[in-house]
Structure 1
Amino acid sequence: MATVVQNLPFLDAESGAYNVIIETPKGSRNKYTYDEHLQLYRLKGVLPAGASFPFDFGFLPGTHGEDGDPLDVLLLMDEPAYPGVLVPARLIGVIAAEQTEHGNTVRNDRLLAVSSISRTHQSLQDIKDIDKHLLTEIEHFFKSYNAIKGFDFEVVGRFGAKRAQALVAAGGKLFQKMQKEGG
Structure 2
Amino acid sequence: MNLLDLPHQLDRKALTCRAIIETPKGRQGKFDYDPKSGLFELAGILPTGMSFPLAFGFIPGTLGGDGDPIDVLVLAEEDLPIGCLLPVRLLGVIEARQTEGNSTVRNDRIIAKASASRLFAGVDGIADLGEPFSAELARFFEVYNSLKDHHFEVLAIADAERAAKLIAEGSR
Instruction: Give the conservation status (yes or no) of the 8 Å contact 1:93–1:127.
Output: yes
Bigger shift: residues 16-25 or 28-37: 16-25
Hey, what does 1:35 align to over in structure 2?
34
Hey, what does 1:6 align to over in structure 2?
4
Shift of 1:134: 1.2
Hey, what does 2:92 align to over in structure 1?
93
Unaligned runs of 5+ in 2: none
Unaligned runs of 5+ in 1: 176-183
Aligned mates of 1:80, 1:8 — CA distance in 2: 22
Aligned mates of 1:131, 1:122 — CA distance in 2: 16
CA offsets 1:82-120 (integer angstroms, 9 cap, x no match) = 110011101111000000011211000000001001121
Shift of 1:12: 6.5
Hey, what does 2:112 align to over in structure 1?
113
Hey, what does 2:124 align to over in structure 1?
125
Question: What amino acid sits opposite 2:3 in the alignment?
Answer: V
Secondary structure in 1 matching 2:170: helix
Does residue 1:83 correspond to 2:51, yes or no?
Answer: no
TM-score, normalised relative to structure 1:
0.89
Secondary structure in 1 matching 2:161: helix
TM-score, normalised relative to structure 2:
0.94
Aligned mates of 2:5, 2:109 — CA distance in 1: 22
> How many residues end up aligned between the 2 structures?
169
Tell me how large the CA RMSD over aligned residues is: 1.2
Shift of 1:168: 0.3
Aligned mates of 1:59, 1:110 — CA distance in 2: 9
Secondary structure in 1 matching 2:48: coil
Question: What amino acid sits opposite 1:8 in the alignment?
Answer: L
Task: Flag the structure with higher helix content.
Answer: 1
Aligned mates of 1:143, 1:7 — CA distance in 2: 29
Aligned mates of 2:10, 2:134 — CA distance in 1: 27
Instruction: Give the conservation status (yes or no) of the 8 Å contact 2:55–2:74.
Output: yes
Shift of 1:6: 3.0
CA offsets 1:109-154 (integer angstroms, 9 cap, x no match) = 0000010011211111112111211111111111100010110000
Q: How does 1:161-176 map to 2 (within 5 A)?
A: 161-172=160-171, 175=172
Hey, what does 2:138 align to over in structure 1?
139
Question: What amino acid sits opposite 1:9 in the alignment?
Answer: P
Divergent runs of 4+, >3 A: none
Report % sequence identity. 45
Bigger shift: residues 107-116 or 118-127: 118-127
